[in-house]
Structure 1
């Protein structure tokens, strides 16, 4: 998939096996930073895969030593010379990035980050936004905006929904690097494995998801993100209604029947 403008590919799409798509950020020279073109290209790719009936799960990887270094600071600084000092460009960029992150959350397909390098600022936000994350033992994470006078306010949204408040504030206020082991301990990533195993570990998780009922996974993912923002009583009421609707699905009848009959289920995705 090519980025808009000069035709340079920013995100590569591959289908290594049935039901699984891999999106690879491929701008190592800029440390896979989230330029406006990168944001638009990745957003388009996520949107297309969300609608693809042949895709059950998505792995998000990157080339080079950085998974993603956050926003393209050089691009942002170039617009300081705009008539409005860059305000319009900055507003459009932050809104576009927020749209990308929400698109990942809204996608019915689980997205698994395969983090082999550094993930900082909006790159750390991208990892936190993905449904699951596998990191190399050498990967590091940070929200270091405070160090350069630009607090990581938008990365804070995803970060604070993954780790404890005290840990999120520590990362945001100190701007220090977090090791992969600490990221796992604090809930930012699910698993830490040797560098050579990162993509296979992520593919293994995607493979397990792809073997399940796609309608059930989609129902569950949407319900998870909706209920987690609700008060307890509302969350239970909502989740109960989701369970009822899920029970009415053909795959639920098939799955329960297969379990009782001690046979493998045959999913229809409905």
Structure 2
């Protein structure tokens, strides 16, 4: 694999068709400082503009991510705090907006904005040793922004429990609640992440990119509006080269040759 860029807080590597982005502040439990968030955004911009199929995001050290870095925040005034939180929000939105499949590979604890990052990814594979929490509810500063992403994964009642109680939920519970796709033993985490990513990136990358964007939009719409968008998008995409190739290869019982257009 090839290491890209000169970063202080992340490591960005490119394999044949996948990126691997590692949060690399183990001494700070991969807390999301403003500089760290800016580097994450730069990394996602590089990935989004590439021909890669996906990115697997992980954390170095004993914690996946402890959320925001309070040393950045404790003395911040209101404009500074807004800037930091909007920078974080842009990162979280980018995970859904880039056409590539985004995956969190969670080996350990992910709390607050760290759990928000997990929830913002398309797919999540977690170790049995992982845990997830939005601890602000049991302290003095509620996890407002993390719960935007988390609640969309786990639903209202579980989001209320997670945010109000602030307790850590284990990986099995996170999977049952819908925050995690797959839970495996620690020694199988790398293999399981790549295996799921390979299944999620087979087929037409062009079709998946449009499909991912449309799915995100329809989830925010009424049922009627969601169908209106889905019908128009699916009808339009039927005229793409890859849609026609997919249908033809199925009927002709052969492997497709994707043009990615």
Instruction: State TM-score, norm by structure 2.
Output: 0.96
Partners of 2:66 and 2:109 within 8 A in 1: yes
Question: 1:26-41 residue pairs with structure 2 within 5 A?
Answer: 26-41=24-39
List, as ranges, runs of 4+ consecutive aligned residues in structure 1 with deviation greater than 4 Å: none
Question: 1:74-153 residue pairs with structure 2 within 5 A?
Answer: 74-77=71-74, 79-80=75-76, 86-153=77-144
Question: For structure 1, which runs of at least 5 residues remain unmatched after alignment?
Answer: 4-8, 81-85
Partners of 2:109 and 2:131 within 8 A in 1: yes
Among 223, 227, 233, which residue is 1:232 paired with? 223
The structural deviation recorded for 1:47 is: 1.0
The structural deviation recorded for 1:209 is: 3.0
Question: For structure 2, which runs of at least 5 residues remain unmatched after alignment?
Answer: none
Tell me the SS of whatever aligns to 1:161. helix
Q: Distance in 2 between matches of 1:26 and 1:212?
A: 32
- Work out whether 1:189 is the aligned partner of 2:193: no
| Other-structure match for 2:18 | 20
Q: Distance in 2 between matches of 1:37 and 1:130?
A: 21
Partners of 1:19 and 1:210 within 8 A in 2: no
Alignment size in residue pairs: 257
Q: Distance in 1 between matches of 2:128 and 2:173?
A: 10
- Work out whether 1:254 is the aligned partner of 2:251: no
Among 153, 156, 160, which residue is 1:165 paired with? 156
Q: Distance in 2 between matches of 1:165 and 1:214?
A: 33
| Other-structure match for 1:2 | 6
Q: Distance in 2 between matches of 1:121 and 1:128?
A: 11
Partners of 1:20 and 1:207 within 8 A in 2: no
Tell me the SS of whatever aligns to 1:23. strand
- Work out whether 1:207 is the aligned partner of 2:198: yes
Q: Cα deviation per residue 1:33-92 (whole Å; 9 max; x = unaligned)?
A: 110011000011011101102x01111111111111000012211x25xxxxx2121111
Tell me the SS of whatever aligns to 1:91. helix
Partners of 1:117 and 1:139 within 8 A in 2: yes
| Other-structure match for 1:6 | none
| Other-structure match for 1:269 | 260
Q: Cα deviation per residue 1:204-229 (whole Å; 9 max; x = unaligned)?
A: 12222333201110011001000011
Q: Distance in 1 between matches of 2:160 and 2:71?
A: 27
Q: What RMSD in Å do the two structures reach over aligned CA positions?
A: 1.0
- Work out whether 1:175 is the aligned partner of 2:166: yes
The structural deviation recorded for 1:255 is: 0.9
Q: Distance in 2 between matches of 1:209 and 1:267?
A: 16
Per mean C-alpha deviation after superposition, the further-off stretch among 194-203 and 184-193 is 194-203
Q: Distance in 1 between matches of 2:6 and 2:80?
A: 22
Instruction: State TM-score, norm by structure 1.
Output: 0.93
Partners of 1:36 and 1:93 within 8 A in 2: yes
Tell me the SS of whatever aligns to 2:141. coil
